[in-house]
């Protein structure tokens, strides 16, 4: 089948099976186009919790599908590519976090949503890049905080809140490779143009930003009067940017998450048709992980 036949077949199956497709902004444009809802990590988690569909197809990486399953244990959650992982999620296992916690007794554990359900099960409160500052600010000033697993997001939170964090030393292999020299060169080529940066980038890159925030915050920042922007995050976001702001010009650093791009129309179609692969999370892990995600959503 070609792209438009696949799109049509997916939309038909979706209606027949009362399924919803949730997609992250980093997925391919054609994948975002068949989704019922496209969002950042926080919005996708909230949307998964709200849906009354029989089936959720998660067009994104594995931790996102797991988060949806943890929040909706009674629903069938399908993940087109279970091998689509995330370098942040890989950088810290549940056992490693438990051992790290034991070295810092009494510390509150805040974990980025880009983690396995096993890590979330050892976490007091989750956060995404949309609400990380708010989550950390909600913790009493006299409590120590462990922050896992993104050291760059951790440094961003420290710089904006003045709180010191005990940081796990993980990073996103996509955002971490951006250099300050690349941004300086783009700024020199496009003087006066605002720079929008995801806080998974290194501190010296975030320091050059006019706006540093989640994918949703970056998209919202383009709503202003400016006609051009320098975009420093995964390039899948350009699809939604150009859809929302067709007359604006975006200068982007070449950044692609190979995991996000593993999700295609072909594997979404096959997944919906076969109702497989399904996400499974052991009940005890899911119950413990759910508490940390729900604490985040309730803030
Ligand atoms: P947000 O959508 O929360 O900005 O997260 C970015 C990301 O890397 C997702 O994997
Ligand atoms: Fe993980 Fe980075 Fe890919 Fe996001 S962009 S899924 S943080 S590897």
**How much is the pLDDT for 41?**
86
Give residue 299's pLDDT: 84
Whether residues 195 and 143 share a domain: the answer is no
Q: Which domain holds residue 193?
A: 175-252
Measuring from atom 10 of ligand 1, which residue has the nearest CA?
114
Pocket probe mutation, ligand 1, options 48, 68, 111, 198, max atoms within 8 Å of Cβ: 198
Residues 158 and 179 in one domain: no
Same domain for 292 and 152, yes or no, is yes
The model's pTM: 0.95
Same domain, 166 and 292: yes
The stretches in the chain having pLDDT less than 50 are none
Residues 6+ apart with CB under 8 A from 294: 71
Is it true that the peptide bond before 251 is cis, omega within 30 degrees of 0?
A: no
d(CA 63, CA 67): 6
- Ligand 1, residue 128: give the atom nearest the CA: 3
Residue whose CA is closest, atom 7 of ligand 2?
172
Whether residue 161 sits in one domain with residue 294: yes
Q: How far is the CA of 86 from the centre of ligand 2 (A)?
A: 5
Instruction: State which of 22, 27, 38, 41 you would mutate to test the pocket of ligand 1, scoring each by most atoms of that ligand within 8 A of its C-beta.
Output: 41
Are 135 and 161 found together in one domain?
Answer: yes
pLDDT tens per residue, range 202-229: 999 999 999 999 999 999 999 989 999 9
Does one domain contain both 244 and 273? no
Query: Which residues form ligand 2's pocket by a CB distance below 6 Å?
Result: 26, 61, 86-88, 114, 172-174, 200, 234, 257, 259-260
pLDDT of res. 181: 98
Q: Mark whether 93 and 80 lie in a shared domain.
A: no
96 & 166 share domain: yes
If asked whether residues 98 and 159 sit together in one domain, one would say: yes
Omega into 195 within 30° of 0, i.e. cis?
A: no
* CATH code, domain carrying 102: 3.40.50.10800
Quick: pLDDT tens for 177-196.
Answer: 999 999 999 999 999 999 99
Ligand 2, atom 6: closest residue by C-alpha: 86
Residue 128 and residue 181 in one domain: no
Helix, coil or strand: residue 234: coil
How many structural domains does the chain have? 3
d(CA 134, CA 248): 31
Q: Whose CA is nearest to atom 2 of ligand 1?
A: 40
């Amino acid at each position: 089948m070609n792209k438009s036949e696949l799109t049509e077949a997916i939309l038909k199956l979706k209606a027949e099976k009362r399924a919803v497709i949730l997609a992250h902004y980093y997925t391919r444009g054609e994948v975002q186009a068949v989704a019922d809802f496209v969002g950042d990590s926080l919005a996708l988690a909230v949307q998964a919790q709200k849906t009354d569909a029989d089936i959720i197809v998660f067009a994104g990486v594995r931790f996102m599908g797991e988060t949806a399953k943890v929040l909706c244990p009674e629903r069938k959650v399908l993940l087109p590519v279970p091998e689509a992982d995330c370098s942040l999620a890989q950088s810290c296992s549940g056992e490693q976090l438990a051992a790290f916690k034991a070295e810092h007794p009494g510390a509150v554990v805040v974990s980025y949503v880009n983690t396995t359900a096993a890590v979330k099960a050892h976490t007091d409160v989750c956060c995404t890049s949309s609400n990380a500052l708010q989550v950390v600010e909600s913790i009493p000033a006299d409590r120590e905080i462990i922050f896992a697993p993104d050291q760059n997001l951790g440094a961003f939170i420290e710089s904006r809140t003045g709180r010191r964090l005990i940081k796990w030393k993980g990073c996103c292999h996509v955002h971490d490779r951006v250099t300050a020299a690349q941004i300086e060169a783009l700024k020199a080529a496009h003087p006066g143009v605002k720079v929008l940066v995801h806080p998974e980038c290194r501190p010296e890159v975030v320091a050059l930003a006019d706006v540093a925030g989640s994918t949703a915050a970056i998209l919202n920042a383009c709503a202003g009067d400016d006609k051009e922007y320098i975009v420093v995050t995964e390039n899948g976001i350009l699809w939604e940017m150009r859809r929302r702001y067709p007359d604006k010009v975006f200068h982007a650093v070449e950044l692609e998450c190979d995991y996000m791009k593993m999700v295609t129309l072909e594997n979404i179609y096959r997944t919906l048709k076969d109702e497989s692969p399904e996400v499974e999370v052991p009940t005890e892990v899911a119950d413990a992980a759910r508490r940390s995600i729900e604490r985040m959503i309730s803030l």
